[in-house]
Structure 1
Amino acid sequence: MAGGRHLRGPTIRDIAREANVGTATVERVLNDRGGVRTGLAERIIKAAKKLKYGDRRFRPHRGIIRIEVLLVQPEVEVFYAELNTTFQRISASLDPTILVHRTFVREDDIAGVVQHIAKPPLRRAGLIVLAPDHPEITESIRQARMSGVEVVQMLTGSAGEDVPYIGIDNYAAGRTAAYYMSRMLQGRSGTLLAMCHSGAYRAHRERIRGFSDYLTQHTNGDHNFCLVIFGHDDNLLSAERLTEALRHDNHVIGLYTVGAGREGVASALKAHPDKVFWIGHALTHNTAKCLRSGLMDICIDGAQETHARRSLDTVLHRLGLIDVDVSSAPVQFLTITAQNLSSSI
């Protein structure tokens, strides 16, 4: 208080000035009376939030600001379904003016992914994308960003500095896997294998590169890293190709899986007569089961909850809807074993 006068809070007139519209339009939006196009209503809500307008008498329409999460998935992978559930749970705690819509598109339908990014059926203010590193997809993401949509990428970053990447340091994850594997298999000589989707995701390529580089730099020749198997995250194909590799080389002692198809991998390892030291990624109910049984030895988990929360917070921050700084550092990954596995999973 100064000179006996109270500092006033923001008014409808202030919001109108910030959004460059009339006060009547602001009142229509804040009182949910309709008749205002979505883009303009979105601008008014953003202005109100920027000015911290908090009059409870006003109840703007739910879901005016739409953020889409585009999850490109193989049919068989439970990881994407669990990530979808995580986004759903977090979105329920957001301001009611914000709608988080999840869309699933098949990863082998590149044209469909590009079309959806470039020409969505509904207006969106933000876009979170998990998709392969395809040049056409990357270009469509860049174009969406240039059109004013706030975009972030998960699992892979390919669209440039103006499109933040939310994820772990995949190269470091690969090196960590190689560190544990080489230490745990110290004194044993044999072959090490790796399995990934297909090389379509930069994250997977970086994990394999980190794994290979560490082994090249730190092993004395006892461990021969000889083969990367492409399982396309398909359980049947993963089982067939891993079984074939194990049959071809009876000196396999370690396996690093950087993608999915874990049920297929598990079935192949169960049928193999010798113990193979297995390090995988992403803690799901399936990987927890494999850890408890001793089939999988270590799981490197990227913390889905953190990925989803930071992705949404990054979009909201860039839209000006929250003023809390969001970390741009890589998400910290966790090393899970049967000994520190939560009983709730």
Structure 2
Amino acid sequence: MIERPMRMTLSDVAREAGVSLATVDRVINRRPGVSSRSVHAVEQSLEKLGYRPDPIAAKLARRSVQRFCFVLPSGNNTFMRLLADQVEAARSWLESQRAFADVVWTDVFDPAALAQTLDHIDDSYEGVAVVALDHPMVRQAIDDLDARGIEVVTLVSDVPGSKRAHFVGIDNSAAGRTAATLLGRFAGGRGGPVAILAGSLSLRDHAERIYGFQQVLAADYPQLMILPVREGRDEGARCRAVVESLLDECPDLVGVYNAGAGNRGIAEALEGAGRARDVIFVGHELTPHSKRFLMRGTMDAVINQDPGHEARSAARVLMALGSKQAIVPDQERIRIDIFVRDNLP
């Protein structure tokens, strides 16, 4: 009896090349995001093993393998880097579910740049998770993806007026109200001005947080005067300059609420002015920087959302949408965490 030669699989190619199955898939389908070294290793393995694609298997794969793209903000936002790390960490699990995920970086503060990035999403992707600016150009780009049959999930910051299928993130109004309650209680009856910083008021999550913060502070802590919102574009240097200017203008500043990123710049400004102990500072996202400032006493509280839960939730939601399965609301609800120095993980 003559044995038929065993057909090589993509898993065999990945093992021979020393790369992931997702990398082999990208090389074969000529998709970006692979180093020249990895491309060469895969091509060498394909030739060595004599891999030939199975047309029938390829047709099945096109129907069953799901490809997703995460569009995240470029720049030095530490939380977004943590989110990208969690997307990377989820790749092996995604591969086991016959799904792949890529990460694309873009300037989400520039609506034209973000819209252009979304417009150039390849049709090989079945779903996109995007940290989005709530702007007409971005809404149109999301609607265009939907028209092309690509499911869109907004991540961290929502665009509710668009045809996005789902939002993955915390209740940002509740997060802002929580921040106001903490700052108001920490003030202990003191009166005076309170500063608010945002990355951009066009980011829905920042705008909703500020709305909730202002709502509670005005109703429950009328002795605290809310100053006009300043924008720092989530950049540490800009946030530092904003707070340095505020400290000069308002020597009696009671507190600072940062609705976005850039905590490091704010902390540096407070410490540099010798005001770290008397100005209450509440911000968002537990990063290595905010942990350090909580330990020093420069920050008083951090409102956090779990980037790992968000990355996995976005992937689960996109897979469910692609396979027409039900989304489990309790599983995908992102909770609000509160950290002070005494309960740091």
* Aligned residue in 2 for 1:195: 197
How far the C-alpha of 1:116 sits from its partner, in A, is 2.7
The match for 1:183 among 182, 185, 206 is: 185
* Aligned residue in 2 for 1:283: 286
| 1:123-171 alpha-carbon deviations (Å, 9 max, x no partner) | 1011101121221111111111122112100122214465211111111
More deviation in 131-140 or 118-127?
Answer: 118-127
- Whole-angstrom CA distance in 1 between matches of 2:152 and 2:58: 19
* Aligned residue in 2 for 1:66: 67
* Aligned residue in 2 for 1:57: none
- Whole-angstrom CA distance in 1 between matches of 2:79 and 2:59: 34
| 1:86-120 alpha-carbon deviations (Å, 9 max, x no partner) | 11101222234211111111235533422332232
Show the 5 A alignment for 1:95-244: 95-96=95-96, 97-121=98-122, 123-158=124-159, 159-160=161-162, 162-219=164-221, 221-244=222-245
State whether residues 317 and 325 of structure 1, in contact with CA within 8 Å, keep that contact through their aligned partners in structure 2: no
- Whole-angstrom CA distance in 1 between matches of 2:52 and 2:298: 56
TM-score, normalised via structure 1 length? 0.78
TM-score, normalised via structure 2 length? 0.78
The match for 1:319 among 322, 336, 343 is: 322
- Whole-angstrom CA distance in 1 between matches of 2:54 and 2:117: 27
CA-based RMSD of the aligned residues comes to 2.3
Tell me which amino acid in the other structure corresponds to 2:80: Y
The match for 1:341 among 336, 339, 344 is: 344
| 1:170-197 alpha-carbon deviations (Å, 9 max, x no partner) | 1111111111111121221221111111
Q: What is the percent sequence identity of the aligned residues?
A: 25
Structure 1: 5+ residue stretches without partners:
1-30, 46-63
How far the C-alpha of 1:209 sits from its partner, in A, is 0.7
Distance 1:336 1:285, change over 3 A: same
- Whole-angstrom CA distance in 2 between matches of 1:38 and 1:104: 30
* Aligned residue in 1 for 2:47: none
Higher helix share: 2
Distance 1:323 1:197, change over 3 A: closer
Aligned length: 291
* Aligned residue in 2 for 1:76: 76
Tell me which amino acid in the other structure corresponds to 1:76: N
Tell me which amino acid in the other structure corresponds to 1:94: L
| 3-state SS of paired residue (2:256) | strand
State whether residues 142 and 163 of structure 2, in contact with CA within 8 Å, keep that contact through their aligned partners in structure 1: no
Distance 1:41 1:329, change over 3 A: closer
- Whole-angstrom CA distance in 2 between matches of 1:37 and 1:311: 28
| 3-state SS of paired residue (2:196) | strand
| 1:217-249 alpha-carbon deviations (Å, 9 max, x no partner) | 112x32111232211111111111111111111
Distance 1:228 1:324, change over 3 A: closer
* Aligned residue in 1 for 2:89: 89
State whether residues 146 and 163 of structure 2, in contact with CA within 8 Å, keep that contact through their aligned partners in structure 1: no
